[in-house]
Amino acid sequence: MAEFTMELNDEQKEVRDWLHGFAADVIRPAAAEWDEREETPWPVIQEAAKVGIYSLDFYAQQYFDPTGLGIPMAMEELFWGDAGIALSIVGTGLAAVGVLANGTEEQIGTWIPQMYGDASDVKVAAFCSSEPDAGSDVASMRTRAVYDEAKDEWVINGTKTWATNGGIANVHVVVAVVDPDLGSKGHASFIVPPGTPGLAQGQKFKKHGIRASHTAEVILDNVRVPGSCLLGGKEKLDERLARARERAKQGGERVKNAAMATFEASRPAVGAMAVGTARAAYEVALDYAKTREQFGRPIIDNQGVAFQLADMRTRIDAARLLVWRASWMAVNGKPFTAAEGSMSKLFASETAKKVTAQAIQILGGNGYTREYPVERMHRDSAIYTIFEGTSEIQRLVIARTLAGMPIR
């Protein structure tokens, strides 16, 4: 087990500086254009593929960093560049992780390369879980997958929403209900291969922020996929369902806590995204306050501005520390006895909203215009308190954990 440390090693620093350079030189100059276009920034994704950032190998290296700091460090730097473009770059990782976590070696080797493509022909993938009536309440999921034993096929019907890359993806990973009596433990994940009949893009959402990231509904109308597209395989699914049924008879606490632990482990990555956006806005505000003069002196000399900057920096550093602690705990198998994963996501996401709003205030009228990036950063920051569990859900998780109550 790696000891918790606040000091990056030489290799981590090298990766951090490399990512920062890409974010500064490639992502940030393109941010305003793709925000206005509200389209997937394919040229930027292609550049990321050329240098090795948009690849499974890169994210696997960061994911298996024994200190736990690889992923949060990478997310912070990319989202420092721009949240919308960064989400377009890392969005495929959601689907890839789903396959890595649940798939067989053959499925991993077959499908993940098709999710990314290559530098000359980049592809994206989509992870489809949320539904119009099942966001935070995953037990309300209605998309059904029924096994056709005669043809060894699964038939999937339902509607997914808020799917990053939904409809434009080469490969879709779809979560569906296979046993409605087991709640979230009756779910399974399926690969929907390219060109499968019955899968279509529904509404594409015109969003307040992260506009360079494609978000849409995915309609599944009698989608048939081979039995080999069930992640993990039928035998493993049957064994898991049998265990879940037995546990349900004995009392469902262990099932609920296992699900909570899974969510807890993924939330620090979102917190790191929020830290990156907050840090970017803070740096713009700090530079502006040092150079903008009013009444014969830089505005940073005014206590009202200086104190805001002091609070912004303090919150950002505190948020990063919570994210790093939770990331280290997750990698090293430390139990989240006080919902530390939710703590990191809650505090970091709320920090991003507050810091970006303060940055606009420091820039005054200039901050309210699109000539300065803090306006876009403020719009982007709103998503962090919504996806991967709203701030209200994070508080519920933390409060119930502290009270020793089950998570529902």
Q: List pLDDT tens digits, range 23-76.
A: 999 999 999 999 999 999 999 999 999 999 999 889 889 988 999 999 999 999
Q: How far apart are CA 229 and CA 213, in angstroms?
A: 27
Q: Which residues contact 228 (CB under 8 A, 6 or more apart)?
A: 107
Q: How far apart are CA 156 and CA 389, in angstroms?
A: 25
Q: Which of 1-10, 87-96, 129-138 holds the top average pLDDT?
A: 87-96
Strands 187-192 and 171-177: antiparallel
Q: What confidence category does residue 406 fall into, taking pLDDT thresholds of 50, 70 and 90?
A: low
Q: Which residues contact 361 (CB under 8 A, 6 or more apart)?
A: 308, 367
Residue 105's SS3 state is: helix
**What does pTM read for this prediction?**
0.91
Active site residue 153: no
Q: 7 or 306: whose pLDDT is higher?
A: 306
Q: List pLDDT tens digits, range 228-257.
A: 999 999 999 999 899 888 877 776 544 443
**Does 381 have pLDDT greater than 70?**
yes
Distances (CA, A) of 149 to 80, 129, 173, 226, 324: 49, 25, 21, 11, 47
Output the pLDDT for position 137: 66
Catalytic residue among 47, 264, 340, 388: 388
